[in-house]
Structure 1
Amino acid sequence: MHNGLKENAAEIFKSAIEAVEPSVAVKRALARDKNTLQVGNRSYDLGQYQKIYVIAFGKASVPMAKALDEILYDLPLQGLAITKYGLGGQLERIEVYEAAHPVPDENSLKAGQMVKEILSKAGEDDLVIFLISGGGSSLFALPRKDVSFKEFVKLHEALLTSGATIKEINTVRKHLSTVKGGGLARMAFPAQSISLVLSDVVGDPLDVVASGPTVPDSSTFEDFNDIVERYHITLLPSISRLLEDGLNGLVEETLKAGNPVFDICYNKLIGTNCIALDAAAKKASQMGYNTLLLSSYITGESKEIAKVFSALGRNELLHAKPMSRPSCILAGGETTVAVKNGGKGGRCQEMALSFAIEAEGLEDILFLAAGTDGIDGPTDAAGAFADGDSVEKGSMKGLDARSMLNSHDSYNFFDGIGDLHKIGQTGTNVMDIYILLVE
């Protein structure tokens, strides 16, 4: 592997991460002048509130909560920050609680109960500030009353390996939960609320990020039914009964637009994949690359998307198009992997391995696919580097790239050739970044 390209890709990726660092995003979004807090186009008189409650959830919840605590240092503040195991820490006035991701566990259930208890105290003279980031859908959970938590967890596991998109997965989650699909906005009412959101979803739809807990939901039980049928997911008894009751109008839908709870709930997007990509493009240009930002809307099957990047690389090598070399093509999004048999890896590592196979034998080209949270699937790597030599390097170590792609064992392939990109958990999450460099 061309070490210079590898180092350059790592630097470009690092710039993307720094641009969406959670505390930076919160401080960029809030402007305080004495007792006036400006959030987007809204102004809040902080002197009129008896109490300010903070509910933070997602992989970025702790640094987001810390930044807010610093901004409101002299005001009565209390609340809860729910984050993934290993991302916790201590905050002075806000309790930190760890739970599981991407599948909820008992701590996720307990966190949901804690949120419900805190919000039950909020009245019309109080302000609730929600700090929302990727991972929030699993980190706190409060299933509808008659849904078995064990079955709730099993359905999450099935959805995550089905090949369903995050929008589809969260449509199901919203209909299983009392806190998603506008549920938190209802719990906070009649208190005024502000939601600051770091998006980990393609296109940044607020009703999908963390399953849209503070915004209206347009999806229905019919959509829920279509998704489980499309991906051939077998529902266990309590969830099957819920869906049947929902289809028959016997169970309340998620909160829809026009509900009065949303009149006093303001949502502000503060960090996105686009912001990260813009920073990466700026860094690449400074390093001397002719840079193209392709899209932040990349979705689809990981191994198929890799073929597109390989084709772009070939075009650059052979025709110097769409731009002259050295070139850097950037994109972002969130792909999927339909897991049929069980190796170790994640969607970014799978994309890199597919790219390595498609680009076999090419020189002066490198591809990095990595998650901005520093975690790709259930692994300790953000993603992986791939180039035209990767397949041969694997073969020399007894690793068959094609076989390992078929068994979704990309982690062990790249671990074997020393090309995993390990940066640790970043504390932020705005989907994935894809970097193609051509010398």
Structure 2
Amino acid sequence: MSVDPQHLLRELFATAIDAAHPQQVLEAHLPKDRSGRVIVIGAGKAAAAMAQVVERCWQGEVSGLVVTRYGHGAPCEKIEVVEAAHPVPDAAGLAVAKRVLELVSNLSEDDRVIFLLSGGGSALLALPAQGITLADKQSINKALLKSGATIGEMNCVRKHLSAIKGGRLGKACWPATVYTYAISDVPGDLATVIASGPTVADPSTSAEALAILKRYNIEVPASVRTWLQSPESETVKPGDPSLARSHFQLIARPQQSLEAAAVKCRQAGFSPLILGDLEGESREVAKVHAGIARQIVLHGQPLAAPCVILSGGETTVTVRGNGRGGRNAEFLLSLTDSLKGLPGVYALAGDTDGIDGSEDNAGAIMTPDSYARAAALGLSASDELDNNNGYGYFAALDALIVTEPTRTNVNDFRAILILESTKNDA
């Protein structure tokens, strides 16, 4: 089989991104009646690209405001695009959240609102609840990001500290009709978790948020604890009549991207194995992937090479060192350390939004000689892993993937390509 492994891995990554891009997935879901006035609001890394699609397709009057991450903007003529910080919120995110809330207040039942939602919306649409400061939210957010908490846990805390998430934005729109179109970046694709569910009812409780903070030993100001102990901190619950005219539609999810990559694998002559949406510590998830790859190489199980292992989801990193690197670099560094140059195994791990954590790369590529090449440069995979320095490790190998912002986000994408098996059938 004649194939360039690295080229194929990059093609799979591009295919996964394209399958979730707003230009491909949004238009078919918009209301059939596209006449009349519509107010467009949005938050997330795909918000600007989604707004472009609405502007192109809507036949009536369009106005509105969306917020996206710095560098993820796109030119719109009728919908204002504002950029703010992610993953830790800043003053720009606070200011735009206030404006969004004002924009949808005092609407009538004749009004229509389109809410464009994608991953990153929690940090970008940051409006602290009464008595809580932006600095409080920033410090808690930073602590959660370093703690190893899952995205569901982080967003449970975020929505109970917010004046806009957990259904509160949808409640503010009442009695207007609200259409939420969401691109999922979370395992399980739960509407309540995607960007902390601003327009959907939320079954989680403030008591659960307090328990999460306690579980990860996160210290919070007295004002935050007092707020979370107050009934006022509860989110909008299922059955609330103020959400009766709020509709939610998932337009892209990680599984679609994995399936698109699987089709590409088959076209190239490789059997795909989709593991699905995964959570857990990046380094531990990598060890499981390494075990599967090793079993394929040595025993031809659970499928024979040539093949590709595909997975998505959102792993976490408990920060122990002071190196550079996001979830995907950490995954790939742990995989490299586990496989130690196993012949015929190549891998790519990247974030579909084009930014791995807070670095400038989407991810990186591992080849069978990565471990030896790094060792020749004096780099120990295990030592760099202890320092959370996946970025530095793969930068030294000139193996980083830089895509620039993609303006979509279905979270992590991982592909492990296995060229051959050493199984002896005799």
TM-score range, shorter chain: over 0.9
Residue in 1 that maps onto 2:13: 13
The Cα of 1:70 is off from its aligned counterpart by 1.1
Distance of aligned partners of 1:312 and 1:76 in 2 relative to their CA distance in 1, 3 Å threshold: same
How far apart are the structure 2 equivalents of 1:343 and 1:3?
A: 34
Residue in 1 that maps onto 2:423: none
Among residues 256, 259, 262, which one is paired with 2:237 in the alignment? 256
The Cα of 1:349 is off from its aligned counterpart by 0.5
- The correspondence of residues 167-182 of structure 1 with structure 2, limited to 5 A, is 167-182=152-167
The Cα of 1:237 is off from its aligned counterpart by 2.9
The Cα of 1:241 is off from its aligned counterpart by 2.1
SS class of match (2:139): helix
How far apart are the structure 2 equivalents of 1:106 and 1:31?
A: 34
The Cα of 1:122 is off from its aligned counterpart by 2.2
- Please, what TM-score do these two structures have when normalized by structure 1? 0.93
Among residues 174, 189, 193, which one is paired with 1:204 in the alignment? 189
Residue in 1 that maps onto 2:305: 325
The Cα of 1:170 is off from its aligned counterpart by 0.4
Residue in 2 that maps onto 1:25: 25
SS class of match (2:244): helix
CA contact (8 A) 1:15 1:279 kept: yes
Residue in 2 that maps onto 1:302: 282
Q: Can you list the C-alpha shifts for 1:22-56, whole angstroms capped at 9, x where unaligned?
A: 12211132363xxx25xxxxxxxx45xxx311001
Residue in 2 that maps onto 1:108: 93
CA contact (8 A) 1:362 1:387 kept: no
CA contact (8 A) 2:350 2:363 kept: yes
Moved more, 51-60 or 387-396: 387-396
Aligned partner letter, 1:59: K
Aligned partner letter, 1:201: V
The Cα of 1:380 is off from its aligned counterpart by 1.0
Residue in 2 that maps onto 1:190: 175
Residue in 1 that maps onto 2:75: 90
Q: Can you list the C-alpha shifts for 1:111-133, whole angstroms capped at 9, x where unaligned?
A: 11110111124222110110000
Residue in 2 that maps onto 1:42: none
CA contact (8 A) 2:52 2:74 kept: no
Aligned partner letter, 2:55: D
Residue in 2 that maps onto 1:396: 376
Residue in 1 that maps onto 2:422: none
Q: Can you list the C-alpha shifts for 1:165-202, whole angstroms capped at 9, x where unaligned?
A: 00000000011111100011111111111000000000
Residue in 2 that maps onto 1:41: none
Among residues 396, 409, 414, which one is paired with 1:429 in the alignment? 409
The Cα of 1:243 is off from its aligned counterpart by 2.1
CA contact (8 A) 1:298 1:331 kept: yes
The Cα of 1:3 is off from its aligned counterpart by 8.8
Residue in 2 that maps onto 1:285: 266
Q: Can you list the C-alpha shifts for 1:83-135, whole angstroms capped at 9, x where unaligned?
A: 11111232111111010000000001001111011112422211011000000
Pairwise CA RMSD: 1.4
Residue in 2 that maps onto 1:273: 254
Q: Can you list the C-alpha shifts for 1:119-152, whole angstroms capped at 9, x where unaligned?
A: 1242221101100000000111111121122112
Residue in 2 that maps onto 1:223: 208
Aligned partner letter, 1:265: S
Among residues 48, 64, 75, which one is paired with 1:62 in the alignment? 48
The Cα of 1:341 is off from its aligned counterpart by 2.3
Residue in 2 that maps onto 1:43: none
- Is 1:132 aligned with 2:113? no
- Please, what TM-score do these two structures have when normalized by structure 2? 0.95
CA contact (8 A) 2:49 2:73 kept: no
CA contact (8 A) 1:152 1:239 kept: no
Percent of pairs with identical residues: 40
Residue in 2 that maps onto 1:52: 38
CA contact (8 A) 1:170 1:208 kept: yes
Aligned partner letter, 2:168: G
The total of aligned residue pairs comes to: 418
How far apart are the structure 1 equivalents of 2:382 and 2:301?
A: 29
CA contact (8 A) 1:359 1:387 kept: no
Q: Can you list the C-alpha shifts for 1:205-253, whole angstroms capped at 9, x where unaligned?
A: 0000000101110111110111011000000232122123x2xx3x241
Moved more, 263-272 or 233-242: 233-242
How far apart are the structure 1 equivalents of 2:24 and 2:341?
A: 42
Residue in 2 that maps onto 1:81: 66
- Is 1:315 aligned with 2:300? no
CA contact (8 A) 1:349 1:369 kept: yes
Residue in 2 that maps onto 1:362: 342
SS class of match (2:341): coil
Aligned partner letter, 1:227: I
- Is 1:340 aligned with 2:320? yes
- Runs of 4+ in structure 1 displaced over 6 angstroms? none
- Is 1:164 aligned with 2:149? yes
CA contact (8 A) 2:227 2:233 kept: no
The Cα of 1:289 is off from its aligned counterpart by 0.4
Moved more, 347-356 or 418-427: 418-427
- Is 1:416 aligned with 2:366? no
What residue ranges of structure 2 are gaps of 5+ in the alignment?
A: 420-426
